[in-house]
Chains A and B, each alone.
Chain A
Amino acid sequence: MSTAVERYLREVGSRLPGSRRVRADHLDELRDGLLTAVEQRPDGETGYAEVVADFGDPAVIAAALGREIHLREARRSALRLLGVLVVMAVLWHAYRDAYGTPSALIPDGWSRPVFLAGTDIIRIAPAVAMASAVLLAATASLRSAHTWVRFVHRASGVGALFATTLFCLSAAAIAATANAAHRLEVLALALPVALLTAFLLWSAARAAGHGRRAFQEVETASRLP
């Protein structure tokens, strides 16, 4: 392979975000184009300056590709978040249908208002997280990088993370303040919920992080048509 092509790919690759597989996919595609261009030259050789002149500034190309990678990852994480929330809702309804509302868990004394506040929040937070995830996935699917798209995209990422964090805190508060006489039942509920909420939090953090970084280099990437 041409040394100039290798150098160009290194310059782009060192700036690309995402996993090794994602970066390799983008670089493979770029490599195919670069080598096709070199093969079409009469001498089949090229210098680095010529590669840059033909393909463009590697920093600009990497910024534009990076935005695409971040948007895809943000959408994937948002859809994963949405999927887990739907699964949790289905499991909760199935549990309630089978065993009824676990009202025996409601404690007495000082912990009662904390427990009840937790149950109030835990009803609302998933709906907010779901709405944020839908918005995030939708804006990550748009071609436009208009100011309002960037704003909604970032805001929905933050919203998803905020709502998921609230959900986790409420679940923890409910588990901590539940009626001590029903510890076993609390544990049986808390373990799967803890696993799912950890996954939720991870997905929300990824969605928000990619959503934020997608437009960080908007000025560099916008140098392309």
Chain B
Amino acid sequence: MNHSILKGHLDGLILSVLEVEPLHGYAVIEALRHRSDEALDLPSGTIYPALRRLERSGRIAGEWSVVEGRRRRTYRLTAAGAATLARERSEWTAFSAMVDRVLAARP
């Protein structure tokens, strides 16, 4: 899949996988791959700046823990993140329905 198509949508996708349970960075990218049946194959490093961006804007909250001697940052959805996710879902539904209607119309 062309990664440029994802511009502006990655945040919503991340919020949706964090809606289920708190996850660390690599688990987020794996959840995205799994949910998309491996169609979404972003470079794994992409997820970390996106997580920090969402955290900076208050959509998710990160917390450090130590797992098998390694520091691990796990993120959970905040109330502001849940509200953003609901809005992005509704906008995407309306947008994709509109694109479907336009593309379905054949001469």
Which A positions have Cβ atoms within 8 angstroms of B?
25-26, 28-33, 35-37, 53-58, 60-61, 64-65, 67-68, 71-72, 75, 140-143, 221, 224-225
Report the separation of the CA atoms of residues A225 and B7 in the bound assembly, to the nearest whole angstrom: 4
11 residue pairs of the A-B complex, CB under 8 angstroms, read A30-B45, A31-B70, A32-B70, A33-B45, A37-B44, A55-B44, A56-B46, A68-B49, A141-B56, A141-B57, A225-B10
Interface residue total, chain B, C-beta cutoff 8 A: 33
> Judging by beta carbons under 8 Å apart, are B45 and A61 in contact?
yes
The digit string for B25-53, where 1 denotes a CB below 8 A from any CB of A, is: 11001000000000000111111111011
Report the separation of the CA atoms of residues A133 and B9 in the bound assembly, to the nearest whole angstrom: 30
Q: Interface of chain A, helix or strand or loop or mixed?
A: helix
Known interface pairs A29-B48, A30-B45, A61-B48; A35-B56 also in contact (CB < 8 Å) = no
Known interface pairs A65-B52, A225-B6; A29-B43 also in contact (CB < 8 Å) = no
> Judging by beta carbons under 8 Å apart, are A68 and B46 in contact?
no
> Judging by beta carbons under 8 Å apart, are A64 and B49 in contact?
yes
User: Counting CB contacts under 8 A, is B73 at the interface?
Assistant: yes
Residues 48-106 (chain B) with a chain A CB within 8 angstroms: 48-50, 52-54, 56-59, 67, 70-73
> Chain B contacts of A65 at CB under 8 A?
48-49, 52
Which B positions have Cβ atoms within 8 angstroms of A?
3-4, 6-11, 24-26, 29, 42-50, 52-54, 56-59, 67, 70-73
> Judging by beta carbons under 8 Å apart, are A56 and B43 in contact?
yes
Report the separation of the CA atoms of residues A27 and B11 in the bound assembly, to the nearest whole angstrom: 22
User: Which of B10, B44, B67, B72 counts the most A-chain CB atoms under 10 A from its CB?
Assistant: B44
Known interface pairs A32-B26, A35-B70; A141-B58 also in contact (CB < 8 Å) = yes
> Judging by beta carbons under 8 Å apart, are B73 and A32 in contact?
yes
> Judging by beta carbons under 8 Å apart, are B48 and A32 in contact?
no
Q: Which of A31, A61, A75 contacts B49 (CB 8 A)?
A: A61
Report the separation of the CA atoms of residues A53 and B50 in the bound assembly, to the nearest whole angstrom: 18
> Chain A contacts of B45 at CB under 8 A?
30, 33, 55-56, 58, 60-61
